[in-house]
A = this chain, B = another copy of it.
């Protein structure tokens, strides 16, 4: 890692709404500047996207944004980020994505002028490269439409650039199912890091060319996949917690290349990125239960600067359209945090403490999101001279913390989980400091038909 020292060293400074390096947006949001804002994400109901339905698709997006912003105005919202996480066709045929942004942005502008509500669009194209297997991370033609959508989408009104990039996923998918922590570390700290560098250099350049905000990435496809699998009791929760920690060294590369935050909502590595780099972050928890259940409903907002619902279909609930209902739920959560920020340090500290104690000892994945532990593990993540060593050291520290919480009786772990602890520790300890040696060690164990080393500059 390029970072050698934490920007936030004191856990009590890791606080919602406050980031050492706030990000200002054109319509006047100051993310991390003392207030938490809602980030609303929504998607289409069950439907096809093609020539004959595309007008209907546009209708869904404009109707939803209008409905949500109406509600936000009604609730005196301080500002909203609308995340536009594209569906495949919208990146594959960038003109569709661009048109949607244009129309949504007109509405945002309208609400800004008429009601003073500041709203920005986060543009998150798909990483199409995963459609080719083995993936051509650097030479794929599919990079073209992605980059086109970034470029023209910014012009159309996308102000914050993000992506859930997938470098290393071809290895991680199988490693997750096998609970192979070395495989995961290889996927994230070797392949992921290298792909992030390649991709984010491009994105940051694009953003700079138009004066836009290169926001950040998310290891969703790795660590949230692990979390979802763990919630289904498919893999151990202790394993999923380590995957989360390892994902930090991969996602931080966006910042090393110049991204400034807010990172993407589904990246629970956010608190680490905030501690290490000082950027503001987007998080999601209980109010994202529409998109995934989680063991971190409250603790996830302990140091959030944006608070998101991850995604909800534009379907009708008893009250009205689901995105409008979720807009309301987010706004009330956010109000609570903002009231606490306004009321002063005692109030905000107590609210954070409650959010943390609510979940901390219910799941190792919650444990590693508690500010104290984030700082302790972040420090470990900075030790070592390679991303591989960083990741391993961070994971070992997390393991210590998990074991300590168990042996002290604070966190109860069932036998099924406990048997994994020594196995995971052995595996982690067998990982060398040096990237090259690690690659050598791993190659024989991996199915090399699934990935192409040269596509990662190896």
Give me the interface of A with B, judged by CB distance under 8 Å. Answer: 43, 71, 74-76, 231, 285-287, 289-295, 297-298, 311-313, 315, 317-320, 322, 324-326, 328-329, 331-333, 335-336, 339-340, 343, 346-347, 350-351, 353-355, 357-359, 362
Contacts and interface: CB of A to CB of B under 8 A. Distances in A.
B350 A286 contact: no
B347 A359 contact: no
17 contacts: A286-B333, A287-B329, A290-B325, A291-B319, A292-B318, A293-B320, A293-B325, A293-B328, A294-B328, A297-B332, A313-B318, A315-B315, A336-B354, A336-B355, A343-B357, A347-B354, A350-B351
A19 B444 CA distance: 65
A69 to B, nearest CB: 14
Contact of A293 (B315, B324, B333): B324
A293 B71 contact: yes
B358 A326 contact: no
Contacts of A317: 290-291, 312-313, 322
A63 B375 CA distance: 42
A76 B361 CA distance: 11
Contacts of A335: 297-298, 358-359
Contact of A298 (B322, B332, B354, B355): B332
A60 B331 CA distance: 31
Given A293-B320, A293-B324, A319-B290, A339 B357 contact: yes
Contacts of A332: 285-286, 297-298, 358
A344 to B, nearest CB: 10
A291 B311 contact: no
The 4 closest A-B pairs by CB, nearest first: A297-B332, A286-B332, A289-B325, A335-B358
Nearest to A327: B289
Given A332-B298, A335-B358, A318 B347 contact: no
Contacts of A76: 362
B339 A289 contact: no
A448 to B, nearest CB: 35
